[in-house]
Amino acid sequence: MSLRGWGDPAQAAPLPESLQRLLRDVLDVDDRRRVPGLRSPVRLAPVRLDRRVALELAGIVGADGVHGDDEARLRHAVGRSTPDLLALRGPKPIAAPDLVLAPDSHDQVMTVLERCSARRVAVVPFGGGTSVVGGVEPDAGAYSGVVALDLARLNALEQLDEESRLATLGPGLRGPEAEWLLADRGYTIGHFPQSFEYATLGGFAATRSSGQASAGYGRFDEQVMALRVATPVGTLELGRAPRSAAGPDLRQLILGSEGAFGVITSLTLAVRPAPATRVYDGWRFPTFADGTRALRVLAQDGPRPTVLRLSDEVETALTLARPGVSGGANGGSAPAGCLAIVGFEGEVDAVGRRRSRVTDVLAAHHAEPVAGAGDSWSEGRYRAPYLRDALLDAGALVETLETACFWSSLHELRAAVTTALRDALINEDPPTPPVILCHVSHVYAAGASLYFTVAAAQSADPIAQWRRAQAAAGAAIAAVGGTITHHHGVGRDHVPWYQREIGELGVTALRSVKRTLDPAGILNPGVLLSAENLHTDLRGSR
């Protein structure tokens, strides 16, 4: 991962002319706003951890598992949200962990947690570092230091139960590594989020990740059959059957807990035979309402494709105007409408039959095929984050947020969030509204998720600029009754909205779990739950 951007630095690319025109003509971004260049080196906050404690922790994981150099600290300091990347481009020191520990076994993780709990050292479980909600930046002011617990060495395919179609894997495996290991045996997990190339299985579980093929394979948490979890006070072994009525499912306390309750050291996942073929089609609907009606029919009544997503008019115009995507008109400008990407995976004959039936449903809702759009989307799926780096350097503010709701509220939610973002980000001098894109990224029988991308001219303080917009969007989501996050997680950024979403009693219940599993509060403090005194309830803290 690039030290100051996304992914492989060799993959970085300059802005295409079409986006340069958008910045100049639509957003009023020109050379006056261009970032003058990335500073080198990035300044890090000083180390706070006592040297004796550092040596004690290093002795647990051995020489191969401890890193205290500045590059290792920086690589584990922040995620990859726009505020993270702006901070890496700014003048202030970065609050990095004091030490990076890379255990190679469950027992080593347990020992590290026990020792850190006794020494009041905060611990940040670390996978791929792809969080976009402040998930790896603890509120560590009350602690004697911070260590990043990098799980990269827990990266084995521990067991493959082909009769049950279950694979037990280490949490430190990145998406491609896990797929390679399973492909050798003819299987796939089928989980391909945009962070796939760098995010890890443990991170997928800890954040309730959703991938592009969720319509066919389900969310990642739905594929988790069993977990082994290390906590400062002991080990949790969860899951021994596909379904159980033996009390509440304690796996659900860990799935989505973002490292605040324990560290996942092993996962057992449902796997499927690797598909013989993958096919992606593009379809254009006259309006967003036409498209969402068709998606709802497919989600509720079938046949359900493996991939199903729908872009609004603005996102469609930008997508279809890109070189290599057929469907443009008037010298390459994209026609009106909303682009849907519909994908199928499986055996060749089964894919053909399902594709034919889906085509009938789409045609009945006034959709027309767009040649090349599906393949173009698939080929460029993992390129968008690189584009964001170039836009930020050019002086644009670019960020995403996502939510979900029931079908009956979908259009109201989209309108409310769009209005909130536009009002928060409009440039007053001269009046220049932001560009706001939206697409449906995941569908269910009862509802769907909405994913927004925003571009505006950077203000003098772009981090504060985005925080204002983020708060406005959060208020709009809450007012309509959507959820503050569908698949990015809570992190630190969404804590106030999440706590309102679950209510005071819900927060109190989670704090009770936290006190039981992590009595000293060392695990990712400030993530998921605010880092106030764990023995003070919400009412008493006000």
SS3 per residue for 260-325: CCCEEEEEEEECEECCCEEEEEEEEECCHHHHHHHHHHHHHHCCCCCEEEEECHHHHHHHHCCCCC
CATH code assigned at 209? 3.30.465.10
Positive or negative: CA dihedral 316, 319, 322, 325: negative
CB proximity list for 532: less than 8 A, separation 6 or greater = 541
pLDDT at 37: 54
Residue 60 falls inside a structural domain? yes
Same domain, 169 and 266: yes
- Tell me, yes or no, if 198 is annotated catalytic: no
CATH code assigned at 403? 3.30.300.330
- For residue 446, the Cα-to-chain-centroid distance in whole angstroms is 22
Residue 485 falls inside a structural domain? no
Cβ of 322: how many Cβ atoms within 10 Å?
A: 16
Same domain, 141 and 58: yes
Choose one of 326, 346, 379: the last residue of a domain: 379
Residue of 187, 198, 217, 451 marked catalytic? 451
Same domain, 95 and 132: yes
The rounded distance, in Å, linking the Cα atoms of 494 and 477 is 12
Q: What is the pLDDT of residues 148-205, one digit of tens each?
A: 999 999 999 999 999 999 999 999 999 999 999 999 999 999 999 999 999 999 999 9
Residue 4 falls inside a structural domain? no
Residue 18 falls inside a structural domain? no
Same domain, 127 and 165: no
Q: Which domain holds residue 302?
A: 277-379
Q: What is the pLDDT of residues 328-382, one digit of tens each?
A: 433 345 568 999 999 999 999 999 999 999 999 999 999 999 999 999 999 999 9
Choose one of 250, 272, 294: the last residue of a domain: 272
Domains in the chain, number: 5
Choose one of 209, 239, 272: the last residue of a domain: 272
Answer left, alpha or beta for residue 267, where phi above 0 means left and psi between -120 and 50 means alpha: beta
CB 194 within 8 A of CB 211: no
CB 151 within 8 A of CB 61: no
pLDDT at 192: 97
Q: Which SS3 state, helix, strand or coil, does residue 172 take?
A: coil
CB proximity list for 246: less than 8 A, separation 6 or greater = none
Low-confidence ranges of the chain (pLDDT < 70): 31-40, 321-335, 429, 532-542
Residue 27 falls inside a structural domain? no
Using CA atoms, how far residue 118 sits from 72, 114, 136, 150, 363, in Å, is 25, 6, 22, 20, 64
Strand partners, 437: 453
CATH code assigned at 104? 3.30.43.10
Same domain, 208 and 124: no
Strand partners, 456: 397
Residue 136 falls inside a structural domain? yes
CB 226 within 8 A of CB 267: yes
Amino acid identity, residue 200?
Answer: T
**Direct distance between the N- and C-terminal alpha carbons of the chain, in angstroms, rounded to an integer:** 41
Same domain, 332 and 369: yes
Same domain, 162 and 268: yes
Same domain, 92 and 109: yes
Amino acid identity, residue 256?
Answer: G
CB 312 within 8 A of CB 319: no
Cis before residue 430, ω within 30 degrees of 0?
yes
Same domain, 467 and 517: no
CB 501 within 8 A of CB 482: no
Same domain, 193 and 219: yes
Same domain, 139 and 168: no
The rounded distance, in Å, linking the Cα atoms of 84 and 76 is 12
For every residue of 364-396, which 3-state class applies, written as one string?
Answer: HCCCEECCCHHHHHHHCCCCHHHHHHHHHHHCE
Residue 28 falls inside a structural domain? no
CATH code assigned at 358? 3.30.70.3450
State the helix-helix crossing angle for 410-425 and 288-301, rounded to 10 degrees. 140
Residue 301 falls inside a structural domain? yes
The rounded distance, in Å, linking the Cα atoms of 132 and 134 is 6
Same domain, 45 and 142: yes
Q: What is the pLDDT of residues 449-469, one digit of tens each?
A: 999 999 999 999 999 999 999
The rounded distance, in Å, linking the Cα atoms of 305 and 466 is 35
